[in-house]
């Protein structure tokens, strides 16, 4: 008995020692390439030029999405991100001495962006998408740093994360990083602050690195890391479906490159209007991107896609689901049209709407229940408010309507049960 205990104690000691060795040797930051230029001796002109380039890096990286404060101050922090383990709040990344990042060097910023490790060695939660940003070019990082340091400091304290045990133990993230943090690329990266002839390569960098699209659009495993074999295949996050945006997934719902460019650049396409957490992506990020970069993103996302094959409308749904047809005419057709044609500047067409096509009814159910606020898109483009209908439809009526929309325009012949429709969040 005593012998067994000794062996157990020995094993435990071995595991602890091994863990410490692994922790020290492998989980810290890796190599940091030299700065792209002499940042300590920039002329005023060079600094202004870099700040301008850095602003574009910040836009395409959509820093504001998470680092905005609830009262709308860019970069002052406090935007909540809901995870299965609790809530994390975006931090203050203004150059405030007490609450922000005024003490960061450009190397420090690179360590954060690529390795998820803050000055002083503490680990960031991967809600900060360093698993995507890890391939940022040193020149893009340096331009971003110059721009960040040129912003007005905002004296707003950070709000601590509210995570359940053991996810609140930051040092444990070292072991998560050991498994899931990608290595930085071997070759120097061609960032966006340098001209790029190769449109596909630029699109890949915008989508996979700065745009960090896969952070929402890729399903996650039990450790909340992205599943490498299901890249961009769609994921439910913060009670909304971030859909499949693989070339095949997009083509199945009728997307082509032109539609995708309109959607990303203007927030609107025949497939619908930006909703849920994608609308802030338009407001803070994609509407500021150059048409060339939007085209690069669309080209990369649609590369080798099969020809678009959106579902054919099924007029037989009218007879198949008379109750749903009646609710549609009574509550929806006034704006969306009896045949789903929609109205310019008012309401989206439903006969090409992507939300009816998803297998998961989540987004459709939430939009009908909660409505959509009026949208100011780009230029003069507007979409009016869609009212919430949760008080006008009981569960059976909502189910009939959701099924009707899916059956008439979404290519779904089968009806979902009341439970499948109503057991959705919201």
Partner 1 sequence: MSDRMLSVTMRINGKDTDPVDLPEDLMLLEYLQEYLNLTGTRYGCGQGVCHACAVIHDAPGGPEVVPTCITGVAWANGRSFRTVEGHATRDEQGNVTQLLPVQQAFLDHFSFQCSYCTPGFVAAATALVERLEAGPVAREDVEDVVLEALNDNICRCTGYVRYLKATRDVILNTPGLTTGEVAASDTAT
Interface contacts to partner 1, rule CB under 8 A: 326-327, 329-331, 333-335, 338, 343, 346-347, 384-385, 387, 391
Q: Which is nearer to partner 1, 148 or 268 (CB)?
A: 268
Q: Which is nearer to partner 1, 160 or 344 (CB)?
A: 344
Burial 42-64 (b: 16+ CB within 10 A, else e): beeeebeebbebbbbbbbbbbbb
Q: Which is nearer to partner 1, 385 or 419 (CB)?
A: 385
Residue 189 vs residues 61, 140, 202: alpha-carbon distances, Å: 16, 10, 11
Strand partners, 184: none
Min. distance of Cβ 197 from partner 1 in angstroms?
47
Q: Which is nearer to partner 1, 118 or 333 (CB)?
A: 333
Min. distance of Cβ 396 from partner 1 in angstroms?
15
Min. distance of Cβ 314 from partner 1 in angstroms?
17
Burial 157-194 (b: 16+ CB within 10 A, else e): ebbebebeeebeeeeebbebbeebbeebeeeebbbbbe
Q: Which ranges of 62-168 does DSSP label H, i.e. alpha helix?
A: 63-67, 106-115, 130-133, 138-149
Min. distance of Cβ 339 from partner 1 in angstroms?
9
Min. distance of Cβ 277 from partner 1 in angstroms?
25
Q: How many helices (H) and strands (E) does the chain have?
A: 19, 9
Min. distance of Cβ 382 from partner 1 in angstroms?
11
Coil, helix or strand at residue 382? strand
Structure tokens at 275: 């909703």
Min. distance of Cβ 234 from partner 1 in angstroms?
32
Q: Which is nearer to partner 1, 84 or 371 (CB)?
A: 371
Q: Where are the beta strands (DSSP E) in 66-173?
A: 80-83, 86-89, 162-163
Residue 139 vs residues 38, 51, 419: alpha-carbon distances, Å: 11, 12, 52
Q: Which is nearer to partner 1, 70 or 346 (CB)?
A: 346
Q: Which is nearer to partner 1, 14 or 345 (CB)?
A: 345
Min. distance of Cβ 387 from partner 1 in angstroms?
6
Count of CB atoms within 10 A of residue 286's CB?
A: 24
Q: Which is nearer to partner 1, 222 or 374 (CB)?
A: 374
Q: Which is nearer to partner 1, 113 or 386 (CB)?
A: 386
Residue indicated by tokens 């499948």: 420
Side-chain-facing half-sphere of 133: CA atoms under 13 Å: 24
Min. distance of Cβ 321 from partner 1 in angstroms?
14
- Angle made by CA atoms 11, 14, 17, in degrees to the nearest 5: 155
Phi (first) and psi of residue 224, to 5 degrees? 65, 25
């Amino acid at each position: 008995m005593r012998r067994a205990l000794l062996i157990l104690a020995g094993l435990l000691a071995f595991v602890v020692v091994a863990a410490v060795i692994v922790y020290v040797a492998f989980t810290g930051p890796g190599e940091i390439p030299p700065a792209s230029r002499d940042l300590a001796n920039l002329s005023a002109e060079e600094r202004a030029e870099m700040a301008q380039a850095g602003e574009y890096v910040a836009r395409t990286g959509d820093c504001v999405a998470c680092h905005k404060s609830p009262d709308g101050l860019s970069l002052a922090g406090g935007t909540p991100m809901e995870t299965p383990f609790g809530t994390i709040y975006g931090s203050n990344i203004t150059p405030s001495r007490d609450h922000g990042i005024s003490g960061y060097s450009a190397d420090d910023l690179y360590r954060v962006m690529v390795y998820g490790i803050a000055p002083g060695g503490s680990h960031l939660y991967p809600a900060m998408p360093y698993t995507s940003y890890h391939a940022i070019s040193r020149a893009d990082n340096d331009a971003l740093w110059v721009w960040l340091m040129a912003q007005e400091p905002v004296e707003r304290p950070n709000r601590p994360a509210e995570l359940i045990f053991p996810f609140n133990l930051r040092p444990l993230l070292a072991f998560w990083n050991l498994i899931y943090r990608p290595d930085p690329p071997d070759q120097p990266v061609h960032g966006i602050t340098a001209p790029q002839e190769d449109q596909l390569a630029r699109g890949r960098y915008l989508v996979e690195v700065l745009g960090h699209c896969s952070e929402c659009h890729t399903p996650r495993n039990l450790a909340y890391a992205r599943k490498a074999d299901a890249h961009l295949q769609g994921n439910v996050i913060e009670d909304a479906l971030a859909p499949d945006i693989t070339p095949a997934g997009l083509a199945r719902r009728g997307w082509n490159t032109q539609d995708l460019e309109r959607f990303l650049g203007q927030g609107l396409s025949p497939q619908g209007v930006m909703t849920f957490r994608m609308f802030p992506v338009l407001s803070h990020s994609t509407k500021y991107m150059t048409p060339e970069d939007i085209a690069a993103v669309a080209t990369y996302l649609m590369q080798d896609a099969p020809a678009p094959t959106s579902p054919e409308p099924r007029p037989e749904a009218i007879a198949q689901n008379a109750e749903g047809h009646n609710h549609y005419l009574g509550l929806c057709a006034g704006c969306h049209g009896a045949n789903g044609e929609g109205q310019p500047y008012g309401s989206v067409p439903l006969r090409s709407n992507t939300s009816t096509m998803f297998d998961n009814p989540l987004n459709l159910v939430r939009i009908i229940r909660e409505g959509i606020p009026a949208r100011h898109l780009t230029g003069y483009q507007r979409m009016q408010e869609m009212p919430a209908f949760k008080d006008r439809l009981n569960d059976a009526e909502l189910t009939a309507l959701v099924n009707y929309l899916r059956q008439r325009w979404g290519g779904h012949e089968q009806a979902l049960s009341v439970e499948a429709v109503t057991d959705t969040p919201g």
